[in-house]
Amino acid sequence: MTEVAKGGLSLSGLTKNFGNFVAVDNVDLEIRRGEFLTLLGPSGSGKTTLLMMIAGFLDISAGDILLDGTSIREVPADKRNFGMVFQGYALFPHMTVRQNVGYALDVRGRPKAEIKARVDEMLDLVQLQDFGHRKPGQLSGGQQQRVALARALSFAPPVLLLDEPLGALDKKLRIEVQAQLKEIHRRVGTTFIYVTHDQEEALSMSDRIVIMQNGRVEQLGTPTELYERPRTRFAAGFLGKSNFLIEGGATYTLRPEKIDLAPKGHINGAARLTGTIRSITYLGSMRKYMINVEGRDDIEVDVDSWRNPHELNEGQQVDLGWSDQAAVKLDED
Ligand SMILES: Nc1ncnc2c1ncn2[C@@H]1O[C@H](COP(=O)(O)OP(=O)(O)O)[C@@H](O)[C@H]1O
Ligand SMILES: [Mg+2]
């Protein structure tokens, strides 16, 4: 079903001003054909504004957007032919699932037989073959999102834009729909640009992630690259948890699960630091230890619960150890 041989986007100097306020600030970004790219950042970091410019719903203040090498700056939204799944972009409540999915093709005047075949294919893709005659109100939230996805993919867009599409779903359902979405991406091969503020969602689905802050690209990379080699404090703290250590004037980031913890004098290898357990929090799969170390911020250590070899108690003195590779030097603060 890989039917899309286009969909590479190139953003250059892309900027959006609202009066004096710069919501998107000089963004350069190459989005590869067929990739699952996620814009990840806190609320207000400019994710939606960036997506709206790509969609053509917002004018560009400066810069350009190229689709497969051609500027689409002057192309209106409906002529860009991008698929969209937005939270506020609801299904038509009075239409059946089939009518919703076929709507865009109907509007484009495609022949009835073609629409029927395509709707069947799309319902198959999102595994809603038996729900075609229901109305959206008769579906669960997760099913409605799959209909929205089928509708957005019905006309084989080169690019699909998704803005926090799973935001309204509860955690368990969200994880289920994430996996389905990822599988659908594999099958259709369309370029997906996905907006979220949820780091786990970004890590689990994306080929690459753009971390955004204050309208700028903070760091771009694969989930592994960003998690293992964050360049800034913000990137290290926003994607996963991080301790920051200042050594010789340079700041290092150290993930809580990469620290070994043992009673004082019992660590394998050399102790890097010695401290006192301030608190222990049991979180099911792991325990979170906050360690007070003289002259430093508290250090968080996460240990798999089942792996806890020693009986450690609050107030106890402990040694902390880690490998050289575990501490990653940041480019800047
Ligand atoms: N139409 C607008 N007028 C003025 N400011 C806006 C407008 N739309 C967005 N903003 C501001 O731009 C910033 C980025 O917003 P947005 O792109 O919605 O962020 P995100 O999607 O990352 O939460 C926010 O500070 C927001 O208040
Ligand atoms: Mg937003």
42 lines ligand 1 (CB under 6 A): no
Look at residue 169 in the predicted model and tell me its pLDDT. Answer: 82
Range of the domain at 276: 251-321
Ligand 1 atom with least separation from CA of 51: 17
Look at residue 270 in the predicted model and tell me its pLDDT. Answer: 84
Ligand 1 atom with least separation from CA of 18: 4
Q: Which ligand is nearest to the CA of 50?
A: 1
Start-to-end CA distance of the chain, whole Å, equals 46
> pLDDT 10s digit of each residue in the chain, 333 long?
445 568 999 999 999 999 999 999 999 999 999 999 999 999 999 999 999 999 999 999 999 999 999 999 999 998 999 999 987 668 999 999 999 999 999 999 999 999 999 999 999 999 999 999 999 999 988 899 899 999 999 999 999 999 999 887 888 888 988 998 999 999 999 999 999 999 999 999 999 999 999 999 999 999 999 999 999 999 999 999 999 999 888 999 999 999 999 999 998 888 899 999 999 999 989 999 999 999 999 999 999 988 775 689 999 999 999 999 999 999 975
If asked whether residues 149 and 255 sit together in one domain, one would say no
Using H for helix, E for strand and C for coil, what is the string for 218-251?
A: EEEECHHHHHHCCCCHHHHHHCCCCEEEEECCEE
Amino acid type, 67: L
Look at residue 201 in the predicted model and tell me its pLDDT. Answer: 93
Cβ atoms of residues 280 and 327 within 8 Å? no
Answer whether residue 110 is part of any domain: yes
Percent helix, strand and coil across the chain, each to the nearest 5: 30, 30, 35
Q: At 289, which CATH number?
A: 2.40.50.140
Closest by Cα among 87, 80, 32, 33 to 53? 80
Answer whether residue 291 is part of any domain: yes
Quote the CA–CA distance of 184 and 197 in Å, as a whole number. 21
Q: At 67, which CATH number?
A: 3.40.50.300
49 lines ligand 1 (CB under 6 A): yes
If asked whether residues 81 and 219 sit together in one domain, one would say yes
Give 311: exposed, middle or buried? Use CB within 10 Å, 0-12, 13-18, 19+: exposed
Give me 288's structure tokens.
Answer: 């979170």
Answer whether residue 245 is part of any domain: no
If asked whether residues 36 and 125 sit together in one domain, one would say yes
Q: How many domains does the chain have?
A: 2
Collect residues with CB below 5 Å from ion ligand 2.
Answer: 48
Answer whether residue 127 is part of any domain: yes
Ligand 1 atom with least separation from CA of 215: 14
Answer whether residue 266 is part of any domain: yes
If asked whether residues 44 and 130 sit together in one domain, one would say yes
132 lines ligand 1 (CB under 6 A): no
Answer whether residue 333 is part of any domain: no
Closest by Cα among 332, 278, 269 to 301? 278
If asked whether residues 261 and 217 sit together in one domain, one would say no
